[in-house]
Amino acid sequence: MPKFRRALTIAVAMALTAFSATPATCAQPPGDVAAPQADRVPDSAVDLPGYLEHYSRPFRIDPDEFKFTQKYYWHRLFHPTLSDKVWGAGVLIASFTLATQKNRIQADVAEDDSPSRERFFRRAQDLGGRGIVPAIAALFYLGGSAFHDYRAKETGFMLAESGILTGILTVSGMWVLSEDRPREGGRLHPFKGIGHGVSGHAATAASISGVLSRMYFQVEPDDGRVARTFKWIGKGFVYAAPVAVSFGRVNEQEHFVYSTILGMAIGFWTSNAVADAHGLYLQAPGSRLKPSGVAPIVGDRGGAGAVVRWEF
């Protein structure tokens, strides 16, 4: 029964972290982070198709969008929305609960280990290391540049942004929660060097989830049954993969469960915040509407456009 309760707690924490990756509403840009009005040719607020075509060309990056994303991200981090606060509190509570049981959980994991499970999770955790995530970002960016595909190119750029921002928060968390690995005793010594209190593998793997989900697997009202099915499968995969990485890190005695929860939460939140900023930037400034889902599209004959879902 105690093992069942601990397993149930872990499952609830994982689900809570995944749900926190898809906030109910997209935050509005603050007054001093409104979509920039600087002159550029073409302007996304005036000629969106022209803008998408212009920046689909090789190695063209909109510096205004980059600055807007940075301002939006850091402002939202220090001025979170109500949804951010609720889910953030939930993640912290779940992590604290799991931290109080960390040694028992690791003992249970070691006791229940098997060769087949060890092989599976050892391979799964590679997604968070070995340069796989940066390689995915580079593949999207270079492929989009080569084929003048704005969505692929912008996805690569957003993945790189999400990965870097996730890394900054993760390393900060490793310093605050400096901790030895479970196989090294798991002693906690806060603010004393870079430890392992936040899982870098879990955070890195989760840093791609929100971007890929919002750019390729956003379910739209006009989607048919087959399209909806494939999009939900894709969305499930990009959010389930970091969970598998997290279990792998725990199974290998590299991290405690609570540290993988914190890592996933950082990656999920960051990737969705980057996607939010991208969607807001593409819209006309000063709109009273809030886009909850925005994605560029390219037609079968090469025409560019955008799909937007609005919330009043």
The token pair at 40 is: 């550029």
CA distance 159 to 157: 5
Which residues span the domain enclosing 301? 2-311
Identify the three-state secondary structure at position 201.
helix
Place of tokens 């991208």: 278
Residue 303 near residue 49, CB atoms below 8 Å: yes
Helix axes 150-176, 209-216, angle to 10 degrees: 160
Q: Count of domains in the chain?
A: 1
Per-residue pLDDT of the chain (312 residues), as tens digits, is 455 445 545 554 554 455 445 443 445 555 445 444 444 446 665 577 788 888 888 888 889 899 999 999 999 999 999 999 999 999 999 999 999 999 999 888 888 777 888 788 778 877 877 789 999 999 999 999 999 899 999 999 999 999 999 999 999 999 999 999 998 888 999 999 899 999 999 999 999 999 999 999 999 989 899 999 999 999 999 999 999 999 889 988 899 999 999 999 999 999 999 999 999 988 744 333 344 455 555 555 554 455 545 442
